[in-house]
Amino acid sequence: MGEVKDDLLPSVYNCADVFVLPSIQEGQGIVLLEAQASGKPVVAFDVGGVDETVRNNETGLLVERGNSDALAEGLMKFLFDKPLREKIGAKGRGFVMENFTWDICAQKMLKVYRDALAN
């Protein structure tokens, strides 16, 4: 699809049942937050900062880095179990809304700056 404009992202995420991130090197991964905010369960390799945004077996599935079979199994698990997919997707959305809204992130960043100035 190439680059997708921000205002179209919710529509794109809502076309999916599951979000898979096959990256073997990742920072925090805003796409993971976007997918979860859209109520989509996530399947990703357990690398970098991914575990800061995805709670394994709670908001998605994290599998061993580079294990493509495990990644595929995680995807299939969600595709064939709609109640699980919906449950995990809802938990992911709640997790993002409780921890990663723009306001919450701005408050956390402000605290970092204040702490740095105080030292």
Site of tokens 């402000």 = 110
* Residue type at 29 in one-letter notation: G
Q: How many domains does the chain have?
A: 1
Residue 37 sits in a domain whose CATH number is: 3.40.50.2000
Q: Looking at the domain assignment, is residue 37 inside a domain?
A: yes
The mean pLDDT of 7-33, rounded to a whole number, is: 87
> Helix H segments across the chain?
9-14, 30-37, 50-53, 68-79, 82-99, 102-118
Distance of CA 80 to the CA centre of its chain: 20
* Residue type at 94 in one-letter notation: G
Most confident of 10-14, 28-32, 50-54, 76-80: 76-80
Q: Looking at the domain assignment, is residue 1 inside a domain?
A: no
Q: Looking at the domain assignment, is residue 80 inside a domain?
A: yes
Q: How confident is the model at residue 78 (pLDDT cuts 50, 70, 90)?
A: very high
Q: Residue 112: give the domain boundaries.
A: 6-118
CA atoms of 50 and 112, how far apart (whole Å)? 21
* Predicted model pTM: 0.83
- Higher per-residue confidence, 73 vs 51: 73
